[in-house]
Amino acid sequence: MKKNILIIHTGGTISMREDKTGSVAPGETNPLTDKSDMISDLANIIIEEPFNLPSPHITPKEMLKLKSILDCHGREKKIEGAVITHGTDTLEETAYFLDLTVQTKFPIVVTGAMRSSNEIGSDGLYNLLSAVRVATSEEAKGKGVLVVLNDEIHTAENVTKTHTSNVSTFQSPQYGPIGIVTKRGVLFHHMPARQESYDIVDVSKRTILIKAHAGMDCSLLSAVKGLKVDGVVIEALGQGNLPPAALPGVKELIAENIPVVIVSRCFNGIVQDIYGYEGGGKQLKELGLIFSNGLNGQKARIKLLIALSQTTDMKEIDRMFQL
């Protein structure tokens, strides 16, 4: 018996067309909706299109709307899985937001495309079909929000966009995909070691992301304090170090009880309080900065936004980032 699968179209390259000048943009209709008959062989399809936005236009407000739609369907218990089509630029952030916040337990798969619907080698429809196949898989249950493109299945926590245009852009540094999609079926070879869940109804907290660099001073961090932000994520150097000239700005933020989360600007490895020199991770840890357990900068910002919706207690936020 075919399963009931919800497909939520949100926009992005997967729903766009290329014109004669080579410009890719949204059209009046989503080309994927014309392909529903191809998907209906795999599942009973329910389609919703809450908005049609390029992914740089997606904000936490849209992410929260998707969470609400999924939770509503979860309470009604009329569907057995969901697929979200999304632009690739911020796909990993939406997927991770949903992974942390959606309260329902059916499989949720996020997919997209690197080539628009009428380009040669368009990958959108194929990725959508693969995503539906994963969403209908019994083995997809209990693995959190999944990202499926290019025949690979990734966790929302680990996947990231690694190339500006290649169809194999989505990779999970260090860990790799947790499964593959083949012509014969959906194959998982391992599952996530941990899962978190936070119910959230508000995304009004302001969290920003800053990237450290050689010669960085405190001017940007001092300016951030004046912007009345609620939290800051810094992509630090190496294992979690900053130039010493940046320290006064960090201290100003900590003095204002603004949580500062440290991740690495490297895409492999985790930050640790190892180095004892001025600006080194050991000193930063002693100052009260929160060291994240392996997230990249954009996902740490999403998690800090969610954490601040739950608590302002520094110790509790630190605990959440160690999970």
Do the strands 231-236 and 260-264 form a parallel or antiparallel pair, or are they unpaired?
parallel
pLDDT tens-place string over residues 68-122: 999 999 999 999 999 999 999 999 999 999 999 999 999 999 999 999 999 999 9
Q: Within 13 Å, how many C-alpha atoms sit on residue 52's CB side?
A: 14
**Pick the catalytic residue: 13, 85, 155, 207?**
13
CB 97 within 8 A of CB 60: yes
pLDDT at 37 over 80: no
183: which 2 tokens?
Answer: 């012509």
Three-state secondary structure call for residue 220 = helix
What's residue 26's pLDDT? 84
Exposure b/e, 62-100, CB count within 10 A at least 16 = b: bbbebbebbeebbeeeebbbbbbbbbbbbbbbbbbbbbb
Q: Is 207 a catalytic residue?
A: no
pLDDT tens-place string over residues 120-162: 999 999 999 999 999 999 999 999 999 999 999 999 999 999 9
Nearest to 213 by CA among 253, 242, 250: 242
What gap in Å lies between CA 274 and CA 283, rounded to an integer? 9
pLDDT tens-place string over residues 158-202: 999 999 999 999 999 999 999 999 999 999 999 888 889 999 999
297: which 2 tokens?
Answer: 């900068």
| Opening angle at CA 62, ends 57 and 68, nearest 5 | 165
Do the strands 260-264 and 290-291 form a parallel or antiparallel pair, or are they unpaired?
parallel
